[in-house]
Amino acid sequence: MKITVKARFNATQQRIEKFSPGNYLVYLGIPEAENAVSVIAYVLSKQLGVPSNKIAPQGRDVHGNYIFEVLA
């Protein structure tokens, strides 16, 4: 299953919103850094109830959203 994530960094509260099937908006209380992909994958794993090693980053789209693949 492919998931698209729009990340908002430096948020006052960490949360995740699902706004359509396969599309999430993630608010993170950290600044954007090189390890942002692993942090987003960890937050997604908690939301989806799958191990974080089953969420593989696929890169970013033209809008800067993060693309992940949830492995079976």
Question: What's the rounded mean pLDDT across residues 36-64?
Answer: 93
Which tokens in the block code for residue 14?
């960490």
Paired residues of 68 in beta bridges: 3, 57
Question: What's the rounded mean pLDDT across residues 16-44?
Answer: 92
Does residue 33 carry a pLDDT above 90?
Answer: no
Give the list of residues 6+ apart from residue 71 with CB closer than 8 angstroms, or none.
Answer: 54, 55, 56
Question: 32 falls in which pLDDT band (50, 70, 90)?
Answer: confident
- Is the full-model pTM beyond 0.75? yes
Question: 38 falls in which pLDDT band (50, 70, 90)?
Answer: very high
Give the list of residues 6+ apart from residue 50 with CB closer than 8 angstroms, or none.
Answer: 70
